[in-house]
Structure 1
Amino acid sequence: MKPQFTFKVAASPKHEKTNALAITSIMTEDGKRYGLPEDAMYVSVHKELQKVNTFNKVKASLKRRHDKISAWFILTDDLEKTYIDEAGNLEFEDRILQEMDNEKNDDIENPSLTKILEKLVEASQKKRRKKIQAYCR
C-alpha cells in the first residue's frame, strides 16, 4: 500500500499564534480518504513519518499558515507497522482511522479559530451593550 498524506500548516494546539504542521487526511491508492483523531493530527506525534525523506521535502515546501500539500509515501517496515494493522486497516496509535466523505472539505477543524470567533462575538456584544447603556442614560 502506498498512502497519500495531506499536510497543512495550521495554528498550533498549544499556542494559536504559532504554526504547526498537521495531517488533514490520509488517502489510499483506491481513493478512500481517512481522517486522524484530533489529538493525532499534528506531525509532532508522527515520529516514524518524520524520519522519511519525503516528509523532509514536504516540510521544506510548506512555509506559511494555510499552505497545503499532498504527497505519496512508500511505506518502510516501520511506517507500515505504524499506519497499517494486520488486517490491512489504516490505523494510528492502535486506533483505526475513520473514512471521510470525499465531498466534504478535508481541512482540519481548528479549535483556536472557533475560540477567536467566540471572543469576537463576545466583544461585539459587550460593545453593543455599552452603547445601549450610554444611550439610555
Structure 2
Amino acid sequence: MEKLRFTFAVLAASDGKTNVICITSIETPDGLVFGIPDDQKPASKHTGISTSDVYTKIKNSLKRRHQTRKLWIPLTAELRKIYLDEGENIQFGDQYLEEIKEETKLSNNNSTEIGNKNLGKTAERFLLDKFSGKASNVDQMLRMNMRMSVHDSRSYRMQKKLKL
C-alpha cells in the first residue's frame, strides 16, 4: 500500500469541555475502513502523523466540534512501520484494528411523495380558508389551520399503518 485515508474529527475530551483532534478511522485504497479504539483516537498518540505538515494543515482546518476531514496520506517508511505489519494488515500500537462495514441506507421515495401531497393539500386549504370569510381575524385563521394540520398528520399516520 502506498497511502492510507485517515479520518480526522474534532471530538470532546474526557472532561467534556475541551476539543481534541482525533483520528477516528483509517481507510485503505481498496475501500476497507478500520476503526480506531476510543483510547487511541487522540491525534497526539499518533506521533508519526502529529509531527507532519499534513497535521498542521488539519489543525488549522478543524475548529468546531464534530467537524471532520478525510485525507489520503502517503506512507513513509515510519508510517508504514506504525500502521502496517509485514502482511500489510492495519494495526496501531499493539493491536490490529477492527474493520467497519459501512451500510448504505436506501431512501423511501413513497413516503416523500405522500408527504408532499399532504403538504400541497394543506397549503390549498389554508389559502381557501384565508379568503372564505370563516376566519375574521388572524388568530382564528391560524387555529383553524392548526386543526387541519393535526388532522392531516393523523390521516398520514393512518395511511402509513394501512400500507404496512
TM-score by length of 2: 0.60
Q: How many Å separate the matches in 2 of 1:18 and 1:80? A: 31
Percent of pairs identical after alignment? 43
1:122 aligned residue: none
Matched ranges for 1:54-65 at <5 A: 54-65=54-65
Between the aligned partners of 1:32 and 1:23, the Cα distance in structure 2 is: 16
Shift of 1:96: 0.7
Task: Report the structure number with the largest CA radius of gyration.
Answer: 2
Instruction: Note the C-alpha offset of 1:58.
Output: 1.3
The amino acid of 2:11's aligned partner reads A
Where do 5+ consecutive residues of structure 1 fail to align?
105-137
Aligned partners of 1:58 and 1:71 also within 8 Å: no
In the alignment, the residues of structure 1 paired with residue 103 and residue 9 of structure 2 have an alpha-carbon distance, to the nearest angstrom, of: 18
Greater relative contact order (Cα < 8 A, sep 6+): 1
C-alpha contact (below 8 Å) 1:83/1:90 kept by paired residues: yes
Q: Per-residue CA shift, 1:72-93, capped at 9, x if unaligned?
A: 1011111111000111001000
Does the alignment pair 1:12 with 2:17? no
Between the aligned partners of 2:27 and 2:59, the Cα distance in structure 1 is 19
Residues in 2 aligned to 1:72 and 1:60: alpha-carbon distance in whole angstroms: 17
Equivalent position SS for 2:9: strand
Post-superposition offset of 1:4: 0.4
Query: Pairwise mapping of residues 117-132 of structure 1 onto structure 2 (< 5 A)?
Result: none
Higher helix share: 2
TM-score, normalization by structure 1: 0.72
RMSD: 1.2
- Please state if 1:3 is matched with 2:4: yes
Give the letter for the 1:99 counterpart.
E
5+ unaligned residues in a row in structure 2: which ranges?
105-164
Q: State the alpha-carbon separation in 2 of the partners of residues 28 and 92 from structure 1.
A: 14
- Are 1:46 and 2:46 matched, yes or no? yes
Tell me which residue corresponds to 1:29: 29
Aligned to 2:103: 103
